[in-house]
Amino acid sequence: MNGGDEAFASLLSAAQAGAPWASTQIWVDHAPAVAAFLRARGSREPDDLTSEVFLTVFERLRDFTGDRAAFRSFVFSVAYRRLVDELRMRSRRGETTEWASERDPRRASSAEDEATDRVGDARARALLDELPPDQRDVMVLRIVADLTVEQVAEVLHKRVGAVKALQRRALENLRKKMASNPYLFETRGR
């Protein structure tokens, strides 16, 4: 066991024993990546959903056994299931959004600056959104969540070979899209 694995084992033991500092550290270590994953996959309230994910993680913490990599897979498995639940619920209820002045697209200090700042992120998301759902899930978990192929397979309940094939097809699809439009990520004035 290396130092990182020993430190994680100690952290996990403390969290399982109910030490608040250990639970806080688990949150600090994993919540940003979970929120980024949920945001990238289209969650309407990624911060709220991240909180729900960790409520579940902490409820099930005493039963968890494994190393740091297994724990990361466990956390993202919970996140993926919560996201699927949210998407299912939205599809049943239809799309609704509560009006908020700060999110009103007609109101911005400088629409051009805001658009320029977000153009790269929006284009990358648009490219990922054009992929078939299985390929998109693999790419977001690999890139945003920084999971290994094996961890992605565990989260998505797929074989490692299937995940590798989905990743290969996704990369080929992205290459084709970018080759057909070489100016896709260029922005004015930069």
Question: Considering the entire predicted model, what is its pTM?
Answer: 0.66
CA distance between the termini of the chain: 48
**Are 63 and 12 in contact, with CB atoms under 8 Å apart?**
no
Higher pLDDT, 53 or 187: 53
DSSP-based three-state secondary structure for 50: helix
CA distance 46 to 17: 28
pLDDT digits (tens, 9 = 90+) for 144-162: 888 999 999 999 999 999 9
pLDDT at 189 over 70: no
Residue listed under structure tokens 């911060």: 47
Q: Is 95 left (phi over 0), alpha (psi -120 to 50) or beta?
A: beta
Buried b vs exposed e over 50-73: b needs ≥16 C-beta within 10 Å? Answer: bebbbeebeeebeeeeeeeeebbb
**Which residues, at least 6 apart from 179, have a Cβ–Cβ distance to it below 8 Å?**
none
Q: Which two tokens stand for residue 176?
A: 């084709």
CA distance 22 to 12: 7
Long-range CB contacts for residues 172-180, cutoff 8 Å, separation at least 24: 173/130, 173/131, 173/135, 174/127, 174/131, 174/139, 177/127, 177/130, 178/127
**Are 38 and 155 in contact, with CB atoms under 8 Å apart?**
no
pLDDT digits (tens, 9 = 90+) for 89-122: 888 766 556 666 665 555 555 444 454 455 556 7
Residue listed under structure tokens 């993926």: 80
